[in-house]
Amino acid sequence: MAPRSRPPRDAAATRSMARRRRRRRALAALALTGALIAGTAYGAWRYIDENEYLLDEHCEAVVAGETQRLSPAQAYSAAFLSASAAERGLPPEAALHAIAISLQETDLELREDEGELGERVLFARGVGSWAGEGSAEGTPIDSAGFYDLLEERAAAEDVDEDEDSEDEDAVVWEPDMPLDEASEALLRPHNPQFYPEHRSRAETFLSPLAGQSEASLTCTLSQLEDEIPSPDPQGVSEELVALLPAALEIPSTEYEGDEEDEEAEDFDPEPIPEGIVDLEGSSESGIVTVTPPENSELLDEGYSMDWMLAHWAVASAREYGIQTVELDSRMWDRDAAGWTDSSREDVAENTVRIGFDRDWDEE
């Protein structure tokens, strides 16, 4: 019996089936490609996120709707200039002018550091064109020299008009004077018209750094071990004692012998910070607790010491490996890069607690 022959397939139907198979294969290939791309993108994102390659380290101040940014190094310098003005009993406007002038002249970055706090070079060298023809007197370039001249020019206002004085023609520095005029009074070397450009940023950062606004300065910082300094609670303690001894009313040792002895001239008083700046533990387990006086006789009324100290610590976080800063019911956390409410009960009122442990336990 001859085999039954199959009827011939419809050519149109065969082509349609082939197209469907090709379409399914194409869709499967596209789905696989999409999955591979998504997996690769997710893996790359996780790698970048964990290694913080795209992290923009910065410090930010938000005051009265105004937001301004500085680098961590700039914020540290601004905090230093503000605290230095407070220590001298100068009004906050002195710090405002110092920060704005430094922004213009050195971008608020440390040029030289000789070890002593007052010798930090944050200003430009040069002589202002208004200093007089043939004048060889350079402008102060370190923080101590800057504030020395500012105090001298501020005191010039009190000089008796009838009293003969070499400074009777000097321009007087006043807290409320515009920045261009302040730059002339302080013999700054750049064109006076440039300095006012930096007032807004300086003013916004001064508010938290002088303690005038609460929880208004924060820093976004790396946590990579090879990019951050080791925790240094002792360094924080030593800098605070050296930077603000008068404002914190830190007593010093006294010479116990006869003041007329030769040894009395060489006696170097040592600060006694116990009860004011206390250090407990070391490295990551270290805690620095700062208890400022309630009413400092030296401090200008424009400052609030507790929030000035808290914001100083935030601005110094990258320098010293600080992880947390607490004041009253608020806490700055380096991981969160912001201020949050704290329920910790062991922090005394108006006391600043500075921590160095990333794995802090609020309870």
Q: Is residue 187 one of the residues assigned to a domain?
A: yes
Examine the pLDDT at 115 and tell me if it is beyond 80: no
281: region left, alpha or beta (phi > 0 left; psi from -120 to 50 alpha): left
pLDDT above 90 coverage of the chain, percent: 61
Q: Is residue 290 one of the residues assigned to a domain?
A: yes
Q: Is residue 48 one of the residues assigned to a domain?
A: no
Examine the pLDDT at 4 and tell me if it is beyond 90: no
The pLDDT score that the predictor gives to residue 265 is 73
Q: Is residue 43 one of the residues assigned to a domain?
A: no
The CA-atom distances, in angstroms, between 289 and each of 279, 294, 318 are: 7, 15, 18
Using one digit for the tens of pLDDT, what is the confidence trace for 300-358? 889 999 999 999 999 999 999 999 999 999 999 999 999 999 877 767 788 999 999 99
Would you say 260 and 234 are in contact if contact means Cβ atoms under 8 Å apart?
no
The pLDDT score that the predictor gives to residue 288 is 98
Would you say 73 and 109 are in contact if contact means Cβ atoms under 8 Å apart?
yes
pTM, rounded to two decimals: 0.81
Q: Which of 49-53, 184-188, 209-213, 231-235 is predicted with the least confidence, judged by mean pLDDT?
A: 49-53
Q: Which of 46-60, 95-109, 214-228, 325-339 is predicted with the least confidence, judged by mean pLDDT?
A: 46-60
Distance (Å, whole) CA 76 – CA 141: 18
Specify which of 222-236, 274-288, 344-358 reaches the highest per-range mean pLDDT. 274-288
Q: Is residue 218 one of the residues assigned to a domain?
A: yes
Would you say 209 and 79 are in contact if contact means Cβ atoms under 8 Å apart?
yes
The pLDDT score that the predictor gives to residue 227 is 73
Quote the number of domains for the chain: 1
Q: Is residue 314 one of the residues assigned to a domain?
A: yes
Using one digit for the tens of pLDDT, what is the confidence trace for 132-141? 543 445 789 9
Strand order in the sheet with 66-70: 66-70, 58-63, 217-220
Q: Is residue 41 one of the residues assigned to a domain?
A: no
- Phi and psi for 278 in degrees, rounded to 5? -110, 135
List the domain range (segments joined by +) for residue 83.
58-128+138-158+169-252+268-355
User: Pseudo-torsion of CA 348, 349, 352, 358, nearest 10°?
Assistant: 60
Q: Which of 94-103, 267-276, 279-288 is predicted with the least confidence, judged by mean pLDDT?
A: 267-276
Q: What is the mean pLDDT of the chain?
A: 84
Q: Is residue 259 one of the residues assigned to a domain?
A: no
